[in-house]
Amino acid sequence: MRGPHNLWRLIRTGATFERTGAMKIALEAMETPPRLRLLARVVGWPFKWLGYRGNPAEPPVTRALTALGPAYIKFGQMLSTRPDVVGEELANQLRVLQDKLPPFPTSVAKATVEAELGQPVDALFSEFSEPVAAASIAQVHRARLAGRGEEVAVKVLRPGIERAFQRDIDAFHFAAGLIELLLPGSRRLRPSDVISHFESVVMGELDLRLESSAASEFAANTEKDEGFQVPAPHWDLSSRRVMTLGWAEGIPLGDVAAIRAAGHDCVELSERVLQLFLSHALRDGYFHADMHQGNLKVAPNGDIIAYDFGIMGHIDEYTRRVYAEILIGFIRKDYRRVAEVHFEAGYVPQDRDIDEFARALRAVGEPIFGMDASRISMARLLSYLFEVTERFGMQTRTELILLQRTMVVVEGVARSLNSNMNMWQVARPVVERYIRESVGPKALVRDLVLTARVLGRFGPRLPQIAEAMLINQTERAEPARRRPALETALLITLGAALAGGGFALAMLI
């Protein structure tokens, strides 16, 4: 329930950060202004005793997030990929949130498997290990199929996870409502819509049947991608709370030292992970939206292996073209065109000055070029972007939330492998290829053919539709005007018949 009782949850959140010592560290890492840091400490200190104690053996921020629950852990997972935002030390501390959380007992996992699949674990698997990875929502066991010998990964949801997530999300909804009420200027960012979007994503992640479906679709889309693998799901051994995938053998992408020791090229890997993500988003409109180091491995042959498909992103063809034109505009430093695309797509109100907006975009883009990533403060860049969007009245695009978030995460993963990576240079060939195939003359012909095919389905009905429309008009017209209207109807009917033949021809192209 999204009532005032959630205020207690928010108070305990701040109190937990203060009690664990995470408040000071987090505010400093995020380069929060000194006055805001002081205010947060003064407000939080009296409630310190109300906070969760957490595990004293963990670093402060990790300790606070794990004590608060799964939704907060998800947030920490994203920050773990951004050493440029939170600092290298804090990012390393948060990385344990990806797959090294405390597991629940194997006996509970086996009981869940038996209840979900309707057979004893020993009848399904000849081997079933202790947890090999434990994250915020589920944990994974390494197993071997009985009678077949194939190694698989068995993912099992944490007990009571649905209730825990709903409690956190209700508190987030309450917080979003308070923000909109107390800070009217924040409404353009649509915080309530953002939380609703987050809720829909998380609820989908809590049904492993949907994740199995996502893994299957993603594998089909990417089967021809060189240097990329997706484990295949076992549908007969998957259900709402249990999912079985082929085992992915490799080095976690977060273990850079082990990757180098194995002889893999970290620079090439950093470029490939970014280009793969962009290819999936632009080419397919369907992408892995949780691509942190805990969900990626490097196979012995150098392939990147992706797993954990609980959060997938989808963007339609029109939005992909807008996104690609914005990216290519930045890459080519054509800020005027970037501004025009924003206006054409309705992202910026029409009453704003397009030239002024283009100059603001230049101030965002120019610092990136000619510099290596280690010299760019992404925290400052994001802060300036926020100022620009506020000044020009841009609203949050909920359909792009996952895309934007994942872009931030993937860039962080790539930079962990190669701190000198220039995101724009690496992205350029992928974006230009998509532009050639989806925005140029070739795309125009394809769109015309597609339009013809769709209209062709209505070909047999066009005469009746035209006749019905014109008869309706003539019934309301003066008698002297009925004859020309009926003649027009005959012409339209004839044109529709001819068009139907054209549509049929287009379907054969």
Per-residue CA distances from 109 to 103, 141, 152, 240, 476 (Å): 10, 9, 15, 14, 72
Domain ranges of the chain: 6-97, 101-247, 249-439, 443-508
pLDDT at residue 387, rounded to an integer: 66
pLDDT at residue 351, rounded to an integer: 86
> How many helices (H) and strands (E) would you count in the chain?
23, 10
In 87-191, DSSP assigns E strands to: 125-134, 138-145, 151-157
pLDDT at residue 107, rounded to an integer: 95
How far apart (Å, rounded) are the C-alpha atoms in residues 236 and 147?
Answer: 15
Do 51 and 18 form a contact (C-beta atoms < 8 A)? yes
The full length of the chain comes to 509
How far apart (Å, rounded) are the C-alpha atoms in residues 211 and 217?
Answer: 10
Q: Show which residues are catalytic.
A: 290
- Cβ count near 113 (within 10 Å): 25
pLDDT at residue 33, rounded to an integer: 63
Per-residue CA distances from 386 to 183, 283, 327, 389 (Å): 15, 29, 18, 5
260 contact partners, CB below 8 Å, separation of at least 6: 266
The distance from CA 66 to its chain's CA centroid, rounded to whole angstroms, is 22
Q: What is the pLDDT along the chain (509 residues), one digit of tens a residue?
A: 555 667 777 778 878 888 888 777 777 766 666 765 666 666 667 777 778 888 888 888 888 888 888 878 877 776 676 665 666 677 777 777 766 678 999 999 999 999 999 999 999 999 999 999 888 889 999 999 998 889 999 999 999 888 888 888 888 788 778 777 776 765 665 677 767 777 777 777 889 999 999 999 999 999 999 999 999 999 999 999 999 999 989 999 989 999 999 999 999 999 999 999 999 999 999 999 888 888 899 999 999 999 889 888 888 888 888 888 887 887 788 989 988 988 888 888 888 899 998 998 888 778 766 565 556 555 455 556 656 766 777 765 656 666 777 887 888 888 889 888 877 788 889 888 888 887 666 666 766 776 666 666 666 776 777 777 777 766 665 554 444 444 443 333 334 333 333 333 333 33
pLDDT at residue 186, rounded to an integer: 59
pLDDT at residue 146, rounded to an integer: 93
